[in-house]
Amino acid sequence: MNSFAELGVPARLAEILAAQGITTPTPIQAATLPDSLDGRDVLGRGRTGSGKTYAFALPVVARLQAQRTKRTPGRPRALILAPTRELVTQIQAAITPFADAAQLNVLTVFGGVGQNPQVRGLRAGVDILIACPGRLEDLIAQGHCSLDAVEITVLDEADHMADLGFLPGVRRLLKQTPRDGQRLLFSATLDKAIDVLVREFLRKPVTHEADSPQSPVAKMRHHVLHIDRELRIPVVADLASAPGRTVVFTRTKYGAKALARQLNKRGVPAVELHGNLGQGARTRNLDAFHSGAASTLVATDVAARGIHVDDVALVVHADPPAEHKAYLHRSGRTARAGAEGTVVTLMTDDQRGDVRSLTKAAGINPTTTKVAATDHPVLRELAPGERQLVEGGFVVPGQAPAKPKAGGGNAKRQNGAGRPQRNRNDGRSPKSGGAGGKSRSRGAGGHSAAAFSSRRGR
């Protein structure tokens, strides 16, 4: 099978894919689509960035289009559950072109925002509901929604649902969907927590695993930098000031906020993403990162599953994660959709044992380098290109820039979008969609988030 049409994807949906330059299915898509389009329950495992979103979006739209059931208030026809609001909005962006072509509507439901627009959307009638479990349960308890008309249910990132303690709510929701409805469960890993859901809710599921549970991405380089603690922020700042997008992970919300502040003071345009942010701030920060107004995103693990930006060339674990699954999901922010990427873990003396155990469990063999100063050549190897600084870092529209530290007058002249002028001779080729060197282009300001998301890697 080497085309979507041969896999059974309806011609109109295949045309939409082709218009986006997507003609060859990814392994997880090629494996699952024949069964899911045939109406079978499917259990699919594929690493982050493997294309799982399209693997379930296409059969959802195809089924609803074929059934042509009348839309009724408060009774969605399809339900897609996801663990985070970021992932919900990413799924919405991916599925909407297909839904529009089939004259289906899409509604998202998640917490952190007012529920009234969501209630109005449910009241008007919904074909495809994409939701986080908590807010959906609240709306059902208030009588605004019923799941008794759901024809197809999708559980995305099932293992992350388990990690976050959402499985009891997920089970309560799945029990409210018709027993004879189709169910698709997708996950980066298939462990014992997932087995419970499979045994209870899937009927004779067909299981597809596109890769082994710990198989590293071939184009992803893994490095460990052994540093003294006082070098942590200077090293992160040096790596993040190279041309291109960087995602930096911390263990705590406070750590993400503090590190983003430090990077901005050093002239690296950075935004934060963690659980303490309101929805408005989350949306603003993600838009800034997608558009290139901020070149660095500092995040807790909440972002490891829900951020899909394909030209992230560098992931930095400023704090090593607690366990190997988190490492793999964090690292999956780079090397997406066939691109190359680099993952750097910062390690202090007291973290050596933990990092050694972590990388072994993750199935990787990183290159370890002792770094005593920010002029070490390995930093230029991992993040090549002229370092680019902006006075005050990222400035929220309407706010005054932060005052730079004394002696910090090395910021480069900015362009109209508030970012430094790019040095076209820095040895990096801008992303063009063709073959060649890896891209670390930040993108142009004013573009939508979807413009920087790989359609094939959905």
What are the structural domain ranges in the chain?
4-209, 220-443
In this predicted structure, what is the pLDDT of residue 424?
32
What is the fold of 220-443? Answer: Rossmann fold (3.40.50)
Residue 115 burial class via C-beta count within 10 angstroms: exposed 0-12, middle 13-18, buried 19 and up: middle
Three-class secondary structure of residue 3 per DSSP: coil
Instruction: Answer yes or no: same fold for 4-209 and 220-443.
Output: yes
In this predicted structure, what is the pLDDT of residue 48? 65
CATH topology of domain 4-209: Rossmann fold (3.40.50)
User: What's residue 303's pLDDT?
Assistant: 59
The segments of the chain whose pLDDT lies below 70 read 1, 47-49, 211-219, 302-310, 333-339, 398-458
Output the pTM of the full model.
0.64
User: What is the maximum span of the chain, computed from C-alpha positions, in angstroms?
Assistant: 68
DSSP class of 126: -
Question: Which spans in 75-189 are helix H?
Answer: 85-101, 116-124, 133-141, 158-163, 167-175
pLDDT reported for residue 397: 73
**How many Cα atoms occupy the beta-carbon half-sphere of 350 within 13 Å?**
2
Q: What are the angstrom distances between the C-alpha of 224 and each of 212, 221, 262, 371, 424? A: 24, 10, 22, 10, 29
Look up tokens 């009234």; give the residue: 116
Amino acid at 399: Q
- Nearest CA to 325 among 136, 63, 47? 47
d(CA 86, CA 290): 13
Q: What is the pLDDT of residue 401?
A: 57
8 Å CB contact between 406 and 266: no
Query: According to the model, what pLDDT value does residue 435 have?
Result: 35
At 238 the three-state DSSP class reads: helix
Which position has the token pair 């001779």?
425
Contact status, residue 193 vs residue 162, Cβ threshold 8 Å:
yes
β-partners of residue 158 are none
